[in-house]
Chain A
Amino acid sequence: MAIQINVPTVGESITEVTVANWLKKDGDLVKLDEVIAELESDKATFELTAPSEGVLRIIKQQGATVPIGELLCEIEPSVEEDKHRASAPNSKATASTASAKSTGGIKEMRVPAVGESITEVTISAWLKKDGDTVRLDEIIAEVESDKATFELPAEATGILRIVAKESETLPIGGLICKIEITDAPAVASSPAPAAVQDAVSNSARDASYAAGHPSPAAAKILAEKGVSASQVKGTGVDGRITKEDAQKAQPSSPMKPVEAKTLVSSAHGPEGGRQVRNEKMTSLRRTIAKRLVAVKNETAMLTTFNEVDMKPVMDLRSRYKEQFKEKYGVGLGFMSFFTKAVCAALQEFPAVNASVNGDEIIYHDYCDISIAVSTPRGLVVPVIRNAESLSFNQIESEVVRLATKGREGKLSIEEMTGGTFSITNGGVFGSMLSTPILNPPQSAILGMHNIVERPIARKGEVMVRPIMYLALSYDHRIVDGRESVSFLVRVKEMLEDPGRLILGI
């Protein structure tokens, strides 16, 4: 089967390349890693190497300009190799892939609708190779949307024909792959000739109940890295995860660097580490990027600041920390204080809790507070529902639950949609002051920062107090300065005198 060679991603701003020179002719036999062509971008020249041995079939002629990702040429397995297969003793050659008899039916697998607001997904990893035999319901690929990752099970038993490549983005309904339906899966124990062994035995291997089972040492290493066994491809017998597999496993890098391997820059730079790595943005990252720019362009965002003397909250917390933990089994953090204060203030200033929908303003009589959680995959914003009616311990447990799920990548789309106001805490990373960016369609976001002892003046005297700067970014289209500033002052008042939280004054 021919291997297709596409134009690889060569640089940040490069969108197309020109075929400067074919070093091999159409029909030539090429070897693995042999340079077959020179490509030119507006910045540099690159060499294209053959990813496998075989006969070259040129598709884009010399001088042609080709966009990144488009087909350049194909390499067909060489005649010699074919001969070798045919003459190999006991060889069933390519037939062994087809030894599971094809019934002629083809199942087309398309991107399923995965959630209301999701319009496209990215193939983050193929777990099966083109030509592999797959079984019904066997997981064949991992697919990522901007909100979640999910697994794609085979919709039929048969031979996999991949259509969408790894890291390709497809709209809902887009064709992912085809499965040539066979009546029975290839038998695992039939001896396969070396030349085709890979394709067949790989699939038989993945079908084992033990595939993906980590050895005791591997399980410990994975747990410590925070990598789930399902993200690791086991190289042990029947796909078991060996200690070495676990050692090599990378936490949370869903995308592999684009095949930079086939490209060698011919422009020799100065010696010493000057390597760059091209990684396609994940679907999640692209969505974040698009949204952030949109917010800047489409809202009238500005930020108001204030400072809070954290001593009262800190005192209260240290006084009741242990009792709280003992009674509720969850730590008493600052999040509950901030959430309570915010909810009280939101109810006084409904515009801050509102959102814009075209010409309409939507006011909410409930407070669904989105909390920003940093995860290895990027920022996610799960929602604490009806935070106004929750007690301190309920808020804390909810924060812990959502943050844990977020870090494990297990948040459902539902858990991340529909907030009416956001809180983000840059303080955990040491931020002194920042201007948070709105989480549309919400109209305001509160930024918490680090707590630092600062000298402040009180009644004519200088004293040292733990101070946190607060920032409230808001959409000036619907929130007036009076409201936003008063809102933040209310939050400050309540935090500096937590008794107000109880009394509602």
Chain B
Amino acid sequence: MQYNVIVIGSGPGGYVAAIRCAQLGFKTAIIEKYNTLGGTCLNVGCIPSKALLDSSEHFVNAKNHFKEHGIDIPSPKVNFTQMIKRKEGVVKSNVDGIAYLMKKNKIEVYQGVGAFVDNKTIKVTATDGKVTTITTDKIIIATGSKPTPLPFAPFDKKRIISSTESLALKEVPKRLIVVGGGVIGMELGSVYARLGSKVIVVEFLESLIPTMDGTMGKELLKATKKLDMEFYLGHKVTSLKNNGREVILKAEGKDGKTLELKGDYCLVSIGRRPYTDGLALDKVGIETVKGQIPVDDHLKTKADNIYAIGDVVRGPMLAHKAEEEGVYVAEQMDGQKPHINYLLIPGVVYTWPEVASVGYTEEQLKEQGRGYKTGSFPYKALGRARASMDTDGLVKVLADKQTDEILGMHIIGARAADMIAAGVTAMEFRASAEDISRMSHAHPTYMEAVKEACLAATANRPLHM
């Protein structure tokens, strides 16, 4: 078959790129290695983890907060099998949704591993061994990423596990060790902490979620300690072994002291690496650099008609970043001139409280030597937060000292993930902190904290503090 565009990989970058290509009238095909569409995000990432996060959050509420709300129930118990089953149902309905979208947009789906024959031809080897060769004018590589193992302790998928296995455990671990206090470690760590596991986090750096604004890591540490999670920051893992019954981890602190931890499982969440296995990139003269496919500002690879998007290229490994790039590349092929503002791609951690952030962090502004003002407002002072007993968290707004332009917004607290969209909108239009504080915000809402933080940033005049 001859196509205008072939997309390799059906994650949020790939399938969105395919839809946009089809909308623009390109004859489009998509290749997926696994039996279901949707990639990491839908199958073993964003969606299933959120399913478990929500279930476990309900459990914590029933166990700890219902009584105070005036709801007396017998002490609730976790039915982990049902929890995992519900999660699988959520995943299925989502991946089926993608299959429907492919059909609706007349996008041909090829199951199998795509490999370059030349820059116009791709060989797809299906799981059953059947080989199909298809040709195209243009190609989008969207093969995503895989969890990175510790160099001395590969995933055995039994007790030394990655995020993928942690989403399909057979039991709630008694003791779970998490290596890496980043987004994935904190999310999955809190799932099991809520369900009753003793969760111990070992992080190499001195703070949690270290890529985000420093205040966020500190606040998250405070909030998650309430879940009885234990933290060893500034510790370098030196060995990790599975002896069949349990895992034994050794780490070294900054002070040189050795730490030994035992647990049922060890979740290694130290990052993800771009995935290009089996693509035969050498056939089209593309060489990866540190695993990534090098691209120019227009996401074009060294080969003229081949583009790459999402986790396989530079930039944050986020589903919504990949989606933007998918649309960008498709529209560019159509001769349009879209743009992506990488500074304004929000980052979110779905712990409870949630963490969300956009723009520059305070640390970055300091490093740039830029004059800035800070405004914070705590959830504690918010009527809505008190009503729902979600008083952990704060909103922090950073604004330019001279112009008052918002340079960064960082939220930790209930519904932060949804609220950050307002920060993105404001910053895309280069709003000032005062602009936001002069817009009506419905009462009582969590968003009032954003308005108050902006008032605080503008001239230190929050109304409710």
List residues of A whose CB falls within 8 A of some B CB.
208-210, 213, 215-216, 219-220, 223-224, 237, 240, 325-326
Contact = CB atoms under 8 A, between A and B. Distances in A.
A223 B430 contact: no
Contacts of A237: 435
B285 interface: yes
A224 B429 contact: no
B430 A220 contact: no
Contacts, number: 34
14 contacts: A208-B403, A209-B402, A209-B403, A210-B430, A210-B431, A210-B432, A216-B339, A216-B341, A216-B428, A220-B337, A223-B337, A240-B429, A240-B430, A325-B304
Most buried by B among A209, A213, A237, A240: A209
Given A213-B430, A215-B429, A224 B403 contact: no
Given A219-B339, A223-B339, A240-B429, A209 B405 contact: yes
Given A210-B405, A326-B285, A220 B336 contact: yes
B338 interface: yes
A224 B403 CA distance: 30
Contacts of B304: 325
A31 B302 CA distance: 66
Contact of A224 (B336, B430, B435): B336
Interface size class of B (residues with CB under 8 A): 10 to 19
B337 A213 contact: no
Contacts of A215: 428-429
Interface string B407-449: 0000000000000000000001111100100000000000000
A306 B95 CA distance: 66
Contacts of B338: 220
Given A209-B400, A209-B430, 5 more contacts: A216-B339, A216-B341, A220-B336, A223-B339, A224-B336
Nearest to B296: A329
A220 B336 CA distance: 8
A240 B427 CA distance: 13
Nearest to A208: B403
A379 to B, nearest CB: 25
A325 B304 CA distance: 10
A208 B403 CA distance: 8
Most buried by A among B285, B400, B405, B430: B430
Contacts of B432: 210
A224 to B, nearest CB: 5
B206 to A, nearest CB: 35
Most buried by A among B336, B337, B341, B402: B337
Contacts of B400: 209
Contacts of B337: 220, 223-224
A220 B339 contact: yes
A208 B405 CA distance: 10
A191 to B, nearest CB: 14
B345 to A, nearest CB: 13
| The 6 A-B residue pairs with the shortest CB-CB distance in the complex, in nearest-first order | A223-B337, A209-B403, A210-B430, A224-B337, A213-B430, A220-B338
Given A220-B339, A224-B336, A213 B403 contact: no
A67 to B, nearest CB: 46
A491 to B, nearest CB: 32
A247 to B, nearest CB: 15
Contacts of A325: 304
Interface string B280-297: 000001000000000000
Contacts of A223: 337, 339
Contacts of A326: 285, 302
B325 to A, nearest CB: 15
